[in-house]
């Protein structure tokens, strides 16, 4: 259960809505023949990913959530926070590993740093 001081970053909820609409649209096709039933797996998987995937940050560290798993990274392991050329936030770890932070964009970095207790969030523009 997330604590009240946890900052949550999630993908835009329009992805979830689109996946639900795609699931409803795929129902007639999937119910036409039994071998077409796996067609429903694609929009359902996208819906679950959109609902679950993201990054949680608090004063203890980061929790990266994916479709089927999660990874906890304490702040002590994070050497640098930055962004890649596509505008996604990345964290460089002490062992040289670079991790893309799901659902965190370049403009979200001040909120992420503030969640770590290492700075104040910048006002929204």
Quick one: pLDDT at residue 30? 92
Contact 32, 40 (CB under 8 A): no
- CB atoms near residue 23 (< 10 Å): 18
pLDDT, one tens digit per residue, over 4-41 is 688 999 999 999 999 999 999 999 999 999 999 999 99
pLDDT at res. 116: 81
d(C-alpha 86, C-alpha 57), whole Å:
22
Query: Each residue of 59-111: pLDDT tens digit?
Result: 899 999 999 999 999 999 999 999 999 999 999 999 999 999 999 999 999 99
- As a whole number, mean pLDDT of residues 51-56 equals 93
pTM here is 0.77
Q: Of 95, 54, 98, 89, which is closest to residue 76 (Cα–Cα)?
A: 95
Instruction: Please say if the pLDDT value at position 125 is more than 50.
Output: no
Note the pLDDT of residue 3.
53
With beta carbons less than 8 A apart as the criterion, state whether 7 and 58 touch: yes
DSSP string, the chain: ---TT-EEEE--HHHHHHHHHHHHHHHHHHHH-GGGGGGGHHHHHHHHHHHH-EEEE-SSEEEEE-SS-EEEEEGGGEEEEEE-TTSEEEEEETTS-EEEEEEEEGGGHHHHHHHTTSSPPPPP-
pLDDT score of 1: 45
């Amino acid at each position: 259960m997330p604590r009240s001081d946890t900052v949550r970053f999630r993908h835009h909820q329009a992805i979830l809505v689109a996946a639900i609409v795609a699931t409803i649209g795929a129902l007639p096709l999937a119910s036409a023949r039994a071998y077409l039933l796996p067609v429903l797996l694609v929009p359902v998987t996208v819906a679950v990913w959109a609902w679950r995937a993201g990054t949680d940050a608090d004063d203890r560290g980061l929790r990266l959530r994916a479709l089927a798993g999660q990874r906890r990274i304490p702040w002590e392991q994070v050497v640098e926070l930055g962004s890649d050329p596509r505008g996604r936030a990345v964290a460089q770890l002490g062992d040289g590993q670079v991790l893309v932070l799901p659902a965190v964009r370049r403009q979200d970095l001040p909120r992420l740093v503030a969640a770590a207790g290492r700075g104040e969030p910048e006002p929204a523009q």
